[in-house]
A and B are shown apart, each in its own frame.
Chain A
């Protein structure tokens, strides 16, 4: 029962080898073994989204994956989205729009927003709201988060103008 399993994966573009018990979740592996504490645990049952990471470019709940399942895959956490110093455009937009207060939910939202913008660079407001509906925030009431993402989506449009709700 305490048999450990070797795994080999890429985390934030870095190769990682590890050996661990199968029951260790991907979230705990990232946080405790790799000390990437930007991924947070808010519920450990897949609802709050604070543990969102990218697995092979798709958003997944790190609390609902075993670390051993990430063997052979590429994981990106909020640390991996950040530039070496400072903030990327999405992060800066969050700051400008006051899209965070306590900051606990923020990494999960950044991952979800990043994935959305990769798939759809110009999402409508309704699309944005839907894409982040799997992330809970208790502080902001969401509206500034939607605005922050919409602003980046808007900026990426060549014909940027006021956008109607669809």
Chain B
């Protein structure tokens, strides 16, 4: 085989694109199976109430309706859906059963499932299922929830968990500080809202007693294990298959009630059942996130050197605890100090349940919230002390010589942690230069062309990887037909290309020779999945290890054949030869020929497996800067420019990394300026359509930029990779809120809550103008 251009690090166009561009992608909604039935979930129209009766007779009388499943059907089998990760004491009392039993606790909670021969008929059937509910009072906000006036789970407090973390000596720091300030902040409810809604196709084959489920992603191997348990099957009877996935951003792929109900239905009817969520359901039933309040106090010296942070945060996690447990508030608490060298920190963390959609993780979970809280307070401090906000940050950022930087034990289910590597001040300075903040200084707070101009920034750190190992497997059928199986899952990250690049680079073969099979439990015996930026960090590293393993296998074989010790051999571009000789002793090509003739030994050599284990997370970081212009009359908010400088360590594919940061930034902008799940007092969610839940469009944020720097590769994996894809989202709330506060500085507004909309700005200005009441 001839020498090949280096692949890892190149902006290779994606291999997976062709099928999507031709409309030949296969998403779960595209699947067609013989004798396929269709499921529709009957959901609670009330936020709180007692189930008096469910009458499915009219539904069952409809031609085409096959079955109606209620809690009684699953009672013997189902269990509450357990917490997968983020276990914190207390949360286990608020788990959700796949179907509501006795009570409903949020609008959208599944009550029954209608199975019919056609999706239209299934919906007709769902309309005919008569659910009688006795309505009860609903509790829909944090303050009310904390009083326990109305309990979401009757015999339990709404305070699902409460704990404290910290480091250093906060009391002493505050007592000695020259400057302190306390503020209350609020982050609003919004979430992933991918363009493809959730969906599953499940097929039970009674003859072979096998269950196949398509539509899996994120953590298919864990979900398979859980599903098998819940259905009282052996794991080996169950396959979870990942097809093409239309975005996840943290919310898809967790084990939801439907992940039990649809396979259960398939087993019940003894065939294939398809369930595709519609958008109205998606907005009400897919994990919400981000709703959190924080009272935050900062202590500093006169030069703005931060001595301590003291925080009390409360997360509204909705009616039940989902599979991601307490991750959101826990990570908010962990990342509250951010990339700054803050010696003392104390945080009380509370999570309350309310009669709203349960919450889970969403891109930068907890980070978005706490970056907003902290970066706002830093700007307030800077203003109070008459200091430049950028200078204050540079004064406090963890310095490279402090790496690895111990942050203490800030998460109940994780031990002591440290930021592994990074040059935080470099990223900050680079962003300031690239943005030319100095040149823009005269504009700050000024009215220019009828618009108030503001600049804001946020420095961030985020984590990736860690957790369970990832696995990879190799099968070579021909020199141009190499199949790479990975336990990592994909929902748009481009692994079919980037993983191929890694393997291609290591093996010295053309990337196009490599087909990547991802995410399905059929691909390999063990796997974990993609979340927390672990696609590249763990999955990519497993590929790297796999290459090492494969090469070592070939070298060992060459050693055996030639008698030359390994030190005298070299692997290059698909062949092992004597060093300095060049004559191949063993080659992929020759092994393929031999395997083709039935040589089992050769075939075995063309297969390899590897795993990458690294329970310690790696930390990406960066700085984001925003320039906003606010119309003086309409308060329309224009994001003149948003720039993120991020260090995600070694970059395998710059095209993909850049795309991730742009996409992450725009999603963060949507969250900050457009999106919100609004509830009324009775727990009805008012944003049930795309006319109400507003996603960003092409005309909203056309000036978003991203710069990648590789200053501090991760020492924790063979690629040197840190994750990318969440950091930029997490910073936006802080950067943009700071820019808006900067623009409106002459009004004396208090910018302490998200989202920020023109109407809310009008309210802030009116509030600031109102005479002070004592």
Contact = CB atoms under 8 A, between A and B. Distances in A.
Is B truly associated with A?
yes
Interface of A: 21, 23-24, 31-32, 35-45, 47-48, 50, 77-79, 82, 86-87, 91, 94-96, 98, 100-107, 110, 128-130, 132-146
27 contacts: A24-B120, A36-B23, A38-B22, A45-B279, A78-B23, A79-B24, A87-B22, A95-B17, A96-B13, A98-B14, A98-B655, A98-B656, A101-B247, A102-B196, A103-B25, A104-B247, A106-B21, A133-B697, A138-B667, A139-B663, A141-B664, A141-B667, A142-B666, A142-B698, A143-B702, A144-B659, A145-B698
A136 B699 contact: no
Contacts of B27: 37, 40, 104
B245 interface: yes
Interface string B595-635: 00000000000000000000000000000000000000000
A121 to B, nearest CB: 19
Contacts of B491: 102
Given A141-B701, A142-B666, 20 more contacts: A32-B32, A37-B23, A37-B29, A38-B25, A39-B23, A43-B689, A44-B279, A47-B691, A86-B18, A87-B18, A91-B21, A98-B14, A100-B21, A102-B491, A103-B16, A129-B702, A135-B697, A141-B662, A142-B698, A143-B666
A77 B24 CA distance: 12
Nearest to A37: B30
A43 B702 contact: no
B244 interface: yes
A22 to B, nearest CB: 11
A45 B689 contact: yes
A82 B14 contact: no
A48 B283 CA distance: 14
B246 A102 contact: yes
Interface string B430-467: 00000000000000000000000000000000000000
Contacts of B276: 41
A132 B21 contact: no
Contact of A101 (B32, B120, B659, B695): B659
B690 A139 contact: no
Nearest to B492: A102
B686 interface: no
Contacts of A128: 698
A23 B123 CA distance: 13
Given A102-B492, A141-B701, A146-B702, A42 B25 contact: no
A139 B14 CA distance: 15
Interface string B642-664: 00000000000001101110111
Given A44-B278, A45-B690, A145-B698, A94 B17 contact: yes
B697 A139 contact: no
Contacts of B660: 101
A96 B23 CA distance: 17
A94 B16 CA distance: 12
A24 B704 CA distance: 41
Contacts of A21: 120
B129 interface: no
Nearest to B29: A41
B653 to A, nearest CB: 9
B194 interface: yes
Contacts of A24: 120
Given A23-B120, A36-B23, A79-B22, A144 B195 contact: no
B31 to A, nearest CB: 9
B246 A104 contact: yes
Contacts, number: 176
A77 B22 CA distance: 10
A130 B195 contact: no
Contacts of B244: 102-104
A141 B704 contact: yes
Main DSSP-derived SS at the A contact region: loop
Contacts of A140: 659, 662-663, 666
Nearest to A106: B20
Main DSSP-derived SS at the B contact region: loop
Contact of A138 (B29, B247, B662, B704): B247
A101 B492 contact: yes
A24 to B, nearest CB: 7
For chain B, the bracket of interface size reads: 35 or more
Contacts of B717: none
B23 A139 contact: no
B22 A100 contact: no
Contacts of B161: none
Contacts of B658: 98
Nearest to A144: B659
A42 B196 contact: yes
A36 B25 CA distance: 11
Q: Which 9 A-B pairs have the closest CB atoms?
A: A38-B23, A103-B20, A102-B492, A104-B246, A141-B666, A78-B23, A101-B492, A47-B690, A37-B30
Contacts of B21: 82, 87, 91, 94-95, 100, 103, 106, 110
B22 A78 contact: yes
Interface string B214-254: 00000000000000000000000000000011110100000
Contacts of A102: 194-196, 244-247, 491-492
Interface string B110-129: 00000000001000000000
Contacts of A79: 22-24
A77 B699 contact: no
A42 B29 contact: no
B29 A40 contact: yes
Interface string B698-722: 1101101000000000000000000
A37 B276 CA distance: 14
B549 interface: no
A42 B666 CA distance: 19
A130 B697 CA distance: 9
A88 B696 CA distance: 28
A143 B279 contact: no
Contacts of A145: 698
B197 interface: yes
B697 A136 contact: yes
Contacts of B698: 128-130, 132-133, 135, 137, 142, 145-146
A138 B666 CA distance: 8
Contacts of B664: 141
Contacts of A42: 195-197, 279
Considering residues A23, A35, A44, which has the most beta carbons from chain B within 10 angstroms of its beta carbon? A44
Given A100-B17, A129-B702, A133-B698, A45 B23 contact: no
Contacts of B193: 138
Contacts of B29: 31, 37, 40-41
Contacts of B245: 102
B493 interface: yes
B190 to A, nearest CB: 13
Contacts of B26: 37
Nearest to B119: A28
Given A94-B21, A102-B194, A104-B195, A138 B702 contact: no
B421 interface: no
Contacts of B702: 129, 142-143, 146
A130 B701 CA distance: 12
A64 B210 CA distance: 39
Nearest to B701: A141
Considering residues A79, A94, A104, which has the most beta carbons from chain B within 10 angstroms of its beta carbon? A104
Interface in B1-35: 13-14, 16-27, 29-30, 32
Contacts of A31: 29-30
B28 to A, nearest CB: 11
A138 B32 contact: no
B665 interface: yes
A43 B279 contact: yes
Contacts of A91: 21-22
Contacts of A135: 697-698
Contacts of A87: 18, 21-22
Contact of B699 (A94, A95, A107, A130): A130
A103 B30 CA distance: 13
